[in-house]
């Protein structure tokens, strides 16, 4: 399996942000996306995840191959930690939430209502969902926000395990996660030179 991105152009709010962006990833590889604030990292990830269309170019992988973790954790606050994971697991026909609880140190919190978790605990639960999606490409937007150093290490270990099992990851992060198979892409070099674009780019927010 391979992710091939060719001559991609992306826009936000009718303004072109990036153009001419190409890269590829093979099974077992990760791409770390860097760039200054407002340079288009989130917009690129949204296009990869199928949340909005590209304005130019192609992405080889269909959105249903992608597990996307945005800035927001997207949790069901009335459900417990375990119920949140079971909800996502059922949706993806995954039967065992045990490895996800274990990987993100959530076993002791599994009966706690998600709305009553701390910010870092919520983030751990949001990331644990990745492990119950069984999707090959993880697209992650600043996944380590609110995580302490131990949780960052656990997250990096989960990504490494995903890569070892043939998965891929595209991660916007300012941290060095120490991934063995991680390349860095700085989106600043792909800043659009013709920024105004009249087309509708928002499938939904």
- The Cα–Cα gap between 8 and 16 comes to 11
The residue number with the shortest CB distance to ligand ATP is 13
14: left (phi over 0), alpha (psi -120 to 50) or beta: left
Radius of gyration of the chain (CA): 17
Q: Which stretch binds ligand ATP (CB under 6 A): 33-41, 73-81, 99-107, 108-116?
A: 33-41
Given 2, 7, 38, 98, the residue binding ligand ATP (CB under 6 A): 38
Tokens at residue 82, please?
């375990």
41 binds ligand ATP (CB under 6 A): yes
Find the shortest distance in angstroms from Cβ 110 to ligand ATP.
Answer: 31
Q: Does 42 bind ligand ATP (CB under 6 A)?
A: yes
Strand 30-34 relative to strand 56-59: parallel, antiparallel, unpaired? unpaired
The smaller minimum CB distance to ligand ATP, of residues 12 and 154, is found at 12
What are the C-alpha distances in Å from 87 to residues 11, 45, 82? 33, 24, 9
Calpha distance 139→69 (Å, rounded) = 6
Nearer to ligand ATP, 52 or 121 (CB): 52
User: Applying CB under 6 A, what is the total number of residues that bind ligand ATP?
Assistant: 11
Q: What is the DSSP letter of 113?
A: B
Of residues 117 and 185, the one with the C-beta less far from ligand ATP:
185
Q: What is the closest distance, in whole angstroms, from the C-beta atom of residue 17 to ligand ATP in the complex?
A: 5
Among 9, 35, 143, 167, binds ligand ATP (CB under 6 A): 35
* Contact status: 182 vs ligand ATP (CB under 6 A): no
Please pick, from the candidates 43, 52, 121, 133, the single residue that binds ligand ATP as defined by CB under 6 A.
43
Coil, helix or strand for 150?
Answer: helix
Angle at 139 between CA 116 and CA 35, to 5 degrees: 100
- To the nearest whole angstrom, how small is the minimum distance from the Cβ of residue 68 to ligand ATP? 14
Q: 67 forms bridges with which residues in the sheet?
A: 138
Coil vs helix vs strand at 173: coil
| 124 near ligand ATP, rule: CB under 6 A | no
**Chain positions contacting ligand ATP, by CB under 6 A:** 12-13, 17, 35, 37-43
């Amino acid at each position: 399996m391979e992710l091939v991105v060719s001559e991609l152009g992306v826009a936000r709010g009718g303004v072109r942000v990036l153009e001419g962006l190409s890269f590829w990833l093979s099974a077992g590889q990760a791409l770390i996306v860097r760039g200054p604030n407002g340079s288009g990292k989130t917009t690129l990830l949204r296009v990869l995840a199928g949340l909005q269309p590209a304005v130019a170019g192609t992405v080889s992988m269909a959105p249903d191959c992608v597990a996307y973790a945005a800035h927001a954790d997207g949790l069901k606050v009335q459900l417990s930690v375990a119920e949140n994971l079971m909800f996502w697991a059922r949706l993806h026909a995954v039967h065992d939430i045990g490895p996800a609880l274990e990987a993100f140190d959530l076993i002791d919190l599994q009966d706690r209502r998600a709305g009553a978790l701390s910010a870092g605990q919520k983030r751990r639960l949001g990331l644990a969902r990745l492990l119950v999606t069984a999707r090959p490409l993880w697209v992650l937007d600043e996944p380590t926000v609110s995580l302490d150093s131990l949780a960052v290490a656990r997250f990096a270990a989960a990504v490494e395990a995903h890569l070892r099992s043939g998965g891929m990851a595209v991660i916007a992060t300012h941290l060095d996660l120490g991934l063995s198979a991680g390349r860095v892409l700085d989106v600043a070099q792909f800043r659009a030179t013709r920024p105004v674009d009249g087309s509708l780019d928002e499938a939904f927010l």
